[in-house]
Amino acid sequence: MVLSDSPALRAERKRVMTSAVTGKIPSRRLGRCGIDVSAVGVGCWPIGGPDHNLGMPMGWSDVDEASAVAGLERAFELGANLFDTADVYGHGRSERLLGRLVAQVDRDAVVLTSKVGYFAGTARHGYQPRHMRSQLEQSLENLGVDHLDIYFLHHSDFGPDDRYLDGAVEVMRGFKAQGRIRAVGMRGPHRFAVDRLNTPPELRGDKIERFRALFDTVQPDVLAVRDNLLTPNDRSAGIFALADAHDCGVLVNKPLGQGLLTGSYQPGCPRMFGHGDHRSRKRWFGPGAIPLIAEGLDRLRELVGPEPADLIRIALWAGLVRSPRTAVLVGFTSPEQVSINLTCLGERPDPSTVGAARSIMAEVQAQLDAGGQVFIDDLTGAAGTPQ
């Protein structure tokens, strides 16, 4: 699709794109914030391409920009209205590419989320209030809009003794009061990226306890939670229960395990990741882990079906059944990936099928954990559940 500067053609393009929505993807309401989204949304981290931040690779392999925009357009045509990005994804590249879709459709036809905190620029800290204001303005400019639907605090490090926590919360609430954002989001339990490199394990603290304390302070409208069939079920269940108790929406990221659960990584065919690709730091994408995952996927195919779409369907539903307030986000690098991700959902599987799928992949997860941390540069260096 060739974009034109003609106002008349832009208006017609918006009309055509908006009318193209099929509505085949079920809708979810993200709790008390009242935002309605497609149950399957689009994660825009991969289209940011290769990148570094905080002294480490934090991007993906390169992606053709025309293919990225075509994938975004295809997602909208198939009924997806939820698009998730961040200031640090390609340092604005992801937001700007998404902005090319937004320019073609009515603003109210899409739900846009972005994040702040991981890119500090020249500020002392990513959550310094003035920096947060500047980053929001830049994200809005990149996307070509006057407000975001959800704005996330991207990590849980608020400086020594949480120096920037109160100020960051105040700024986010101010954004909401001013109509610059509709809802405040925060990450679920996780480790700040550089802690794995610089902080000894005994000094890191309990990330679940940390999350719950921040939840009480931030009082988010929406959570971003990493959850998939390779995530320990007992760890995730309490997070979704907490969200339900507070009528808080949840966006599940990495439901396909960044491709590990789709069969796209094959034993004996190791992938080479570029200098700015975060997967180069993760053992689960290496030759020692892929055969274990492949064996689990073979068992999963016997349960749900032999095709990639069968694997994707059960992986997506494993996230969606967590809560009626939950939507899942799937990344992409091509329109073909978008098409299969957004058309394979079908009917909700029987709970026993989801339970069996969890049991199969839990065994795989236990085997992977026994081999060491996910991140090969983690100071821990020992076996244990990935942090």
Orientation angle between helical segments 233-245 and 207-218, nearest 10 degrees: 10
pLDDT for the residue 11: 55
pLDDT for the residue 14: 57
pLDDT for the residue 386: 38
> What does the radius of gyration of the chain's CA atoms come to, in whole angstroms?
20
**Which is it for strands 40-43 and 326-331: parallel, antiparallel or unpaired?**
parallel
Tell me phi and psi for residue 241, to 5 degrees: -65, -40
pLDDT for the residue 319: 97
Task: Tokens for 159, please give them.
Answer: 């400086």
pLDDT for the residue 117: 98
Task: Tokens for 169, please give them.
Answer: 């919360």
All residue ranges of the chain with pLDDT < 70 are: 1-23, 378-387
pLDDT for the residue 165: 98
pLDDT for the residue 64: 95
- Residue that the structure tokens 């969890």 belong to: 358
Tell me phi and psi for residue 237, to 5 degrees: -55, -40
Q: For residues 360 and 353, what is the distance between their CA atoms, to the nearest angstrom?
A: 11
- Among 263, 270, 328, 268, smallest CA distance to 299 is for 263
Which uninterrupted H or E stretch holds 180?
none
Q: For residues 41 and 25, what is the distance between their CA atoms, to the nearest angstrom?
A: 10
DSSP 8-state assignment for residue 282: B
Tell me phi and psi for residue 132, to 5 degrees: -60, -40
Q: Strand locations in the chain, DSSP E?
A: 27-29, 36-38, 40-43, 52-53, 56-57, 82-84, 111-116, 148-153, 181-187, 222-226, 249-253, 326-331
Tell me phi and psi for residue 381, to 5 degrees: 70, 0
